[in-house]
Copies of this chain bind each other. A is one copy, B any other.
Amino acid sequence: MDSTFRQIPPVVLQALKADLLDGDRVALGRAITLIESKRADDRKQAGLLIDAILPKTGSSIRIGITGVPGAGKSSFIEVFGTMLTASGKRVAVLSIDPASSKSKGSILGDKTRMETLSKNELAYIRPSSSGTIPGGVASHTREAILLCEAAGYDVIIVETVGVGQSETVVKEMVDYFLLLMLAGGGDELQGIKRGIMEMADHILINKADGANPEAAKRAAKAYRNAVHLFPAHEAGWTVPVATCSALEKTGIKSVWSEIEAFRQLTAGGWFEQNRRLQRIQWFHALVRSALELNFFGKANIQEAISEKEALISARKISVRKAVQELFES
């Protein structure tokens, strides 16, 4: 943790806020580092900062992107993000990886993954934060979204990193959820959790290039038929299923058109309602998380739980009794 942010005095916080609202990237980076800090004094400062910038948040479109391993998420974001910046939009890319630790060098990793975008002045790429608090990573990313919005970013992309862990978490913090797939026999789906496909607001078959366009079209058709079998989208949105190639830069523009159509369809209704609901859910999740941290954080509770788990696993004790004993002790 950067020591600059320890016991940051109010006057510096004011400056940080001002620089952030000016769209200063260094200030944005510092602000995100501050909200990720676990130090009590930093957390207090982070709270003040977030509350101060709150009126300046909410104006972006928040896009979640997930995909099966090998679907080419990074290349897609590189091309998609570059296209958006070309039309003057400011684009922030955040990532969630519950398993990651910043010290493992994911900053360098991310810069390499999206080489063009990372050099683009209108783009901001922030690697995933490490987090040990349950719900902590997600909460940090939600706050990072707010900071990016305050810094004037128009499009916030939140991508899942790693496999099968964070799709639901991302879904709950974005307006629009894009699923990147590949044409193929189905084996490549190992990496995504069951239930994710139905959550997508948009399905995109990438790598429709080289010898693949026909296979990608066939896959798109199959997914399109499947989507009709799913329960309807709450917003009355028809989930688009299309092909694209990040390599050949085809099918990328229409992704943005669809997102604009979605925003228009849901404006003044589902869009705001969904964000309100997401804030309330976030609040509840954090309250539960704080409550559990307090309880499960105690060494004797952890020990008692492990003991009970072993007994329950071996069917030597009922779940009811295990819970009773846990709360009696």
Contact = CB atoms under 8 A, between A and B. Distances in A.
Given A192-B231, A295-B291, A321 B47 contact: yes
Interface in A202-237: 222-223, 225-226, 228-233
Interface string A302-329: 0001001100110111111111101100
Contact of A46 (B186, B231, B286, B320): B320
Nearest to A228: B186
A35 B4 CA distance: 57
**Within the oligomer, what is the number of copies of this chain?**
2
A143 B230 CA distance: 33
Contacts of A312: 279-280, 283
Nearest to A55: B315
Interface string A110-136: 000000000000000000000000000
A197 B229 CA distance: 9
Given A186-B229, A189-B230, A287-B326, A47 B320 contact: yes
A187 to B, nearest CB: 8
Contacts of A195: 195-196, 198-199
A197 B51 CA distance: 41
Q: Is the interface of A mostly helix, strand, loop or mixed?
A: helix
Nearest to A276: B313
Contact of A324 (B47, B192, B229): B47
A193 interface: yes
Contacts of A222: 225-226, 228-229
User: A198, A231, A295 — which one has the most chain B CB atoms within 10 A of its CB?
Assistant: A231
Contacts of A291: 291-292, 295
A101 interface: no
A271 interface: no
A281 B16 CA distance: 44
A77 B283 CA distance: 41
Interface in A239-291: 276, 279-280, 282-283, 286-288, 290-291
22 contacts: A50-B318, A51-B317, A51-B318, A51-B321, A54-B316, A54-B317, A54-B318, A57-B315, A139-B320, A143-B320, A186-B229, A186-B232, A197-B230, A197-B231, A198-B198, A222-B226, A222-B228, A225-B226, A279-B315, A283-B312, A286-B320, A290-B327
